[in-house]
Structure 1
Amino acid sequence: MRRGTALLAVALVAGCGLPADDEPHSVSLPRQPLTAPLPSAVPARPGAYVEILCLVRDGRLVQAVRRIDTPPDAQRHLDDLLAGPDESERDAGMTTALTGLTLTVTRSPGGGEARVEVAETDESKAITDDTLTYGQVVCTLTSRADVSAVVFTRDGARLEVPRANGALSRDPLTGPDYAALITTA
């Protein structure tokens, strides 16, 4: 019975039209990040791009996926997060911890680091030590293919912000720094 199964497997593999290789070799996949722009010769179709926003539900971070018509730059992506959940996301119980904040993102030249300037125009709206607030920004921006880490600043000086485990850091932050707060449901 085993020999028959093995012969059948060999026949199926041989019949698929792929030549057998003696050694493994690398394969280049023709994929690009979901947020990457399409080549200019191909017109974008409505909802052709994906934008991931990290919102809050039941005291935890949850990713919301939106389909949009044009690829957002990092500032637009952050502005969409600051605008809060849309109607369908609110209906799903999502909220935001970013109400009333002004945040500006700049990118480091040639690198994947994003700097988020936290404006302190109104003390009552300033970020204090809310881990979910920082987690929303970090998880949203690092969902982009062109951002690998986020640093928070005020007046150009790095801020000490909390990670999910409560430890404070001035170092660049990444999604895994807030993984303990992310829910998949």
Structure 2
Amino acid sequence: MTAPHPARGRPLACLRARLVLGLRATLVAGLAGLIAACGVPAEDLPRAVTPPPGPFPQQATATPTTAETGSATEVLYFSRDDRLVPVIRRVDQAPAVDAQLRGLLAGPTPAERDDGLTSALPGALSNAVVQLVDDQARVTVAPAEPESGRLDEPLAYGQIVCTLTARPDVSTVVFLRDGAALSVPRADLSLSTEPLTAADYAVLISPR
């Protein structure tokens, strides 16, 4: 048998190649058309886009309090279980002596109360005012209520004495009423009109 001539098979192979290339071109063109149909058409001018109705969730951020970010400190003495407890608060700047006394008279913060702290100061001492003379804090208190009979007076006076003498500009504290020296109880219940220091209430102080 005579073998087919090589030149006769070439036209058939070229035809098959052309058909394959044409089919590929048709598929590519069709896919390009589908992609274009799914896209957003271009516009000549910008168009305002109306956002969907809110509210939108926002990431929660903690607002630092003064106690967390203050560069200065103040020491206040409150009470717990019949003991004096020092509390250190951070503040923006060191307070004046009268401002520190007002902070003490205002009592513990809610967080400090949750820690079991309270104050023995409500009563006649709640309106106390202070004047700094040299390094002595002179605290004027209101007249005592009739028959007050308070048993926590050493704690109350100790709160004031220990708070004020914790300042670097106060060495002693005296109490006045109507301009005269007031006899106040120390930790051992003895009465004194002399200038007082934290040492007079040391046995009542509990470490924080």
- TM-score, length-normalised on structure 1? 0.70
Q: Which amino acid aligns with 1:171?
A: E
Q: 2:132 aligns with which of 102, 107, 118?
A: 107
CA displacement, residues 144-167 of structure 1 (integer Å, 9 cap, x when unaligned): 000000000001100011111111
* Cα gap change, 1:50 to 1:127, in 2 (>3 Å): farther
Correspondences of 1:32-181 after superposition (within 5 Å): 46-100=69-123, 101-108=126-133, 111-120=134-143, 123=145, 130-181=153-204
* Cα gap change, 1:135 to 1:125, in 2 (>3 Å): farther
Deviation at 1:46, TM superposition (A): 3.9
When the two chains are superposed, the root-mean-square deviation of aligned CA atoms in Å is 2.1
CA displacement, residues 22-46 of structure 1 (integer Å, 9 cap, x when unaligned): xxxxxxxxxxxxxxxxxxxxxxx94
* Cα gap change, 1:114 to 1:124, in 2 (>3 Å): same
- Runs of 5+ unmatched residues, structure 1: 1-44
SS at match of 2:188: coil
Tell me the matched-pair count.
138
8 A Cα contact 2:73 2:93, kept in partner: no
- Runs of 5+ unmatched residues, structure 2: 1-67
Q: Which amino acid aligns with 1:105?
A: V
- The runs of 4+ residues in structure 1 deviating greater than 4 Å are 124-129
SS at match of 2:163: helix
Match of 1:26 in 2: none
SS at match of 1:178: helix
Which has the larger share of strand? 1
8 A Cα contact 1:127 1:133, kept in partner: no
* CA–CA distance in structure 1, aligned partners of residues 170 and 157 of structure 2: 15
* Cα gap change, 1:105 to 1:127, in 2 (>3 Å): farther
Using the aligned pairs only, state the percent identity: 49
Deviation at 1:70, TM superposition (A): 2.0
Deviation at 1:107, TM superposition (A): 1.1
Deviation at 1:106, TM superposition (A): 0.4
* Cα gap change, 1:158 to 1:127, in 2 (>3 Å): farther
* Greater Cα radius of gyration, structure 1 or 2: 2
* CA–CA distance in structure 2, aligned partners of residues 136 and 126 of structure 1: 19
SS at match of 1:136: helix
